[in-house]
Structure 1
Amino acid sequence: MKRNDWQHLLLGLTLACPLYAMADYKVLIGIDPADETNKKSLSFGSVPTQSLISTLGAPVVLKQTSDLTDVMRATRTQENDMLVGPPHVTASAISHQYQLLARQKINSEFVLIARKDISSVNQLGGKRLYLTQQDSVRAYVAKGLLDEAGLSLKSLKSVTYGKTSGAGLLALSANIADVTIASKAEAEVWMKANPQVAVVLKSTPELPSGLALMVKKSMPDAEKKKVLRWLSGSDAEAAGLGKMVTTSSADETQYAYIAALGILTPKVISGVATVGSAEVQKLAASGAVLVDTRSVKEYDQEHIKGAIHAPYVEKSLKDREFDSSLDDYSAITKLGKEKALVFYCNGPECWKSYKASVVAKATGVTKIYWYRGGMPEWRENKLPSETKN
C-alpha cells in the first residue's frame, strides 16, 4: 500500500457510534502466503478505505500482512475490531469471541497425496513431507490430518516448506518428496497427467478456502449492519474481497471442523498439574508465581493481574516432541527451582507455556502448574487483568 493510502486511513469523518468515538477502528487483514489469487487481488487503495471510514463513521487503522503466525495470535488477543483472513484464521477467531459475518463462496477439499508405494497414512513415519509455508492453511490442514493419524512432524524423515502446492506435486514426481498436500481438484488434474506416480491417502470434507470477515461479538448490531452494507457495495469488491456472502450455521460447522484440525497442545504433561481458572486464583492467593510466557507486546497489552513476564521464545516445532535446544528459554531458568510456578500463554493453541512447563520440569523445578486455558479463558471468565503502563 502506498504512503498516501495509509494517510487516507487516518482520516476520520463524523463519529457516529459512541463505542468507537474515542478510538480508531482496527482492521487486520491476513493473506495466506500460498493463496495466489487473494495475494494478488487484495488491495485496499484510497477509495475502498475511505468508503469504509465513511460507512463506519469512525477513523480506521488498517494492517495487511502475510505473517499468519501473528494473525493467529491476534485472534486470541482480540486486539482488532475486524478481521479478514483464510479458513484457519477464521476458525480460530470464531473460537475467541469473534462473529463470522461473511465469506467468499469458495470451497475446496484437501488431500494428502503420496508416492504410490505408500498405501496408508500409518506408513508415513520416516518419510519426506513437502508443505506450503508454515503458516499457510494447507500446512495447517496437513498437520491436522497427520495428527488425527497419531503422527507428528518429528516422526518424519524431513519436512520441506515451499511456496506452492504445485511444487509439492512436482517433488513427488521427481522423487524428492514422499507426501504432500494439495486441493483435490489440483491433485486430480496432476494425477491424470502423471499416472502411476501417486495415490490419495486421506482427504477432508469440502471446506471453505477463501477469505472470511469477522467482527468482535461485542460490536453493536448497528455497526455489524454497516459492515455488511459496505461488503455488498462496489468498493469492497474493488478492494479484492470479491462477492462475499453472509454466512449461516452451516458455514460455522465447516469452520468448526477446521478448528478441530488445529494442532493443539496435549491436555496433560507428565509430572505437571494442569489447572483451571479457579485453581489459578487459589494458587496466586497462596503465593504461587503466575508466569506469562508470551511476547512483551502481548504482556504489555494485557496480562493476569500480578503475573510476571518471562517469555519463552520458540523456534522449535509446535509438537510434543519439540527440540528445546532451538528455543530461548533463559527467562524461565532464572525463575528459581523452589517457587511454585504457574505458566500460561494464549490458550490450547499456544505452545509457549506447554514448552515452558516441560523445560522447567527438566531443569529441576518441583512445583509446576500449567494453566492450559491461558489468557483467553481468563478473559472470557472476566477475571482481573492489567496492562503495563
Structure 2
Amino acid sequence: MPRALSFACLLALALGSSPTVQAATADAAAPLFNADGYRITLYRSPTPEQVDGAQIVDTAQLQAMLSQRPKPVLIDVYRRQWLQGRFIEDEPHANLPGSHWLANTGDGELAPRWMEYLTLNLRALTDGHQDTPLVFYCRADCWLSWNAIKRASALGYSHLYWYRDGLDAWQAAGLPVEPAQPEPLR
C-alpha cells in the first residue's frame, strides 16, 4: 500500500510539472477577450445566446428570410489560411447557397488590411446601404461570426442577424450547400 501511494504521488508530481499540463494551465489563464470585447482565442467553443446589435435566427427563420424581399446578404466568416499573399486551401469549404465568404474577418484582432477587406466588402455587398439585412455565420460553437457581427455593428450596420449554429445546422437539416472560395483580398 505505501508503495502504491508513493508511486501515485510521484506520478502526480511528474504530470503536474509536464510541459503539456503547464501549457494547458497557461491557456486557461489567458484572457478570452481583448480590451475592445472581441473574442481572441478558443474560437470553437460554446457561444452565448445573444450578441449586441443582432437578432439570432435558426434554420427555419433563415429559410423564411431568404424567401422574402429584401433578401438578406449571407456572410460566412470561417477562417482560411493566408500565406504569401493568397488564401491556401487546405481542405474544401462549402457555404450556404448565395453566400459571400469573407474569410478571417471574425478574428478577434484584425490587422488594418483585414479590417479594410471587411469594410470594403460590406460596402460593396450592401451598395453602401447600412440598413441592408446581413446574416453572419460560421459553424456551430464558433465565435468568429459573433466577432464579425460586433464589428459590423460598430461600422454602423443596423439590420444584423446571427445564424448562430451556421453551416453545421444547415447541413444537419439536409439543405444544399455549394463549394466556396473566399472573396479576394486586394
TM-score interval w.r.t. the shorter chain?
A: 0.5 to 0.7
Structure 2 spans left out of the alignment, 5+ residues: 1-10, 35-43, 81-88, 124-129, 182-186
For the 8 Å contact 1:303–1:375, the answer to whether it is kept is yes
The 5-angstrom pairing of residues 209-220 of structure 1 reads none
Change (3 A) 1:139 1:377: farther
Larger mean CA deviation between 289-298 and 367-376 belongs to: 289-298
Higher relative strand content: 1
The CA distance in 1 between the partners of 2:102 and 2:151, in whole Å, is 13
Per-residue CA deviation, residues 107-164 of structure 1 (Å, 9 max, x unaligned), is x99xxx9xxxxxxxxxxxxxxxx961xxxxx269x63xx7xxxx95459xxxxxxxxx
Identity across matched positions, percent = 25
Per-residue CA deviation, residues 217-242 of structure 1 (Å, 9 max, x unaligned), is xxxxxxxxxxxxxxxxxxxxxxxxxx
Choose the corresponding residue for 2:134, options 316, 337, 341.
Answer: 341
Choose the corresponding residue for 1:265, options 41, 47, 52.
Answer: 47
Change (3 A) 1:308 1:383: same
The CA distance in 1 between the partners of 2:143 and 2:113, in whole Å, is 12
Which residue is equivalent to 1:124?
A: none
- For the pair shown, the structure with the greater C-alpha radius of gyration is 1
> Residue 98 of structure 2 aligns to a residue in which SS?
coil
The CA distance in 2 between the partners of 1:346 and 1:139, in whole Å, is 27
Number of residues of Structure 1 aligned to a counterpart in Structure 2:
139
The CA distance in 2 between the partners of 1:367 and 1:131, in whole Å, is 44
Choose the corresponding residue for 2:116, options 309, 315, 330.
Answer: 330
The 5-angstrom pairing of residues 231-246 of structure 1 reads none
Change (3 A) 1:354 1:139: farther
The CA distance in 2 between the partners of 1:292 and 1:298, in whole Å, is 17
The CA distance in 1 between the partners of 2:91 and 2:131, in whole Å, is 24
The 5-angstrom pairing of residues 309-320 of structure 1 reads 309-313=101-105, 316=108
The 5-angstrom pairing of residues 294-373 of structure 1 reads 294-295=78-79, 297=89, 301-313=93-105, 316=108, 323=109, 328-334=114-120, 335-336=122-123, 337-348=130-141, 350-373=142-165
- How far does residue 298 in structure 1 lie from its aligned partner after superposition? 8.4
Moved over 6 A (4+): none
- How far does residue 275 in structure 1 lie from its aligned partner after superposition? 0.8
The CA distance in 2 between the partners of 1:299 and 1:309, in whole Å, is 15
The CA distance in 1 between the partners of 2:176 and 2:106, in whole Å, is 28
The CA distance in 2 between the partners of 1:375 and 1:291, in whole Å, is 11
Choose the corresponding residue for 2:170, options 374, 378, 381.
Answer: 378
Give the TM-score, by structure 2 length.
0.60
Change (3 A) 1:315 1:345: closer
> Residue 328 of structure 1 aligns to a residue in which SS?
helix
Provide the aligned C-alpha RMSD in A.
3.6
The CA distance in 2 between the partners of 1:293 and 1:299, in whole Å, is 16
The CA distance in 1 between the partners of 2:90 and 2:73, in whole Å, is 18
Give the TM-score, by structure 1 length.
0.31
The CA distance in 2 between the partners of 1:139 and 1:380, in whole Å, is 35
- How far does residue 273 in structure 1 lie from its aligned partner after superposition? 0.3
Structure 1 spans left out of the alignment, 5+ residues: 1-107, 114-129, 133-137, 156-261, 317-322
- How far does residue 340 in structure 1 lie from its aligned partner after superposition? 0.7
Which residue is equivalent to 1:199?
A: none
The CA distance in 2 between the partners of 1:347 and 1:303, in whole Å, is 14
